[in-house]
Amino acid sequence: MNDLILQPILFMGFLSLLMMLLMYITRIPASKTLEAEGVDLQQLSHPAQLGGVFPSKVERVADNYNHLWEQPTLFYAVVLVIWALGHTDTVHLYAAWAYCALRFAHSLVQITINHVWVRFSLFILSWAALATMLIREIATALSQ
């Protein structure tokens, strides 16, 4: 059972891969359009200069890709600690898969309708799943 906790890491990795591919599928054509309009992309080489340059639907995909390298890094670390210490149980598995489902839903919302309150709710719920794993693992470590 312990190795099952590693599957959500693979899911999140695959989600990151999909968002990276989608980012370039949307960004490259948008970049070509900007160049055709006379925009010197080299002048936009720093990420802070890109805000508002690309259409919103293109920026949202890139934003989501970047979000998948923020909070999920803690998820990866917590899952690996749970796995390494052999603490996988049903609650950890459900919480890990809930986290994945919520992050997937967050990605879908962000790249489509981008409704702020829906996205925020999914973000907070994913944090609740992650916090469940983190707090349970801390409690287990302190009780030993």
Average pLDDT, the chain: 95
Is residue 29 predicted with pLDDT exceeding 90?
A: yes
pLDDT value of position 32: 94
Is residue 16 predicted with pLDDT exceeding 80?
A: yes
Q: Which sequence spans correspond to the domains of the chain?
A: 2-143
Is residue 50 predicted with pLDDT exceeding 80?
A: no
DSSP-assigned letter for residue 54 = S
- The pLDDT > 90 percentage for the chain reads 85
CATH number, span 2-143: 1.20.120.550
Q: What mean pLDDT comes out for the span 6-23?
A: 98
pLDDT value of position 30: 93
pLDDT value of position 49: 75
Name the pLDDT band for 26 (thresholds 50, 70, 90): very high
pLDDT value of position 41: 85
Is residue 128 predicted with pLDDT exceeding 80?
A: yes
On the 0-12 / 13-18 / 19+ scale of CB atoms within 10 A, 93 is middle
Between the CA of residue 94 and those of 88, 99, 124, 141, what are the distances in Å? 10, 8, 17, 20
pLDDT for 65-115, tens place per residue? 999 999 999 999 999 999 999 999 999 999 999 999 999 999 999 999 999
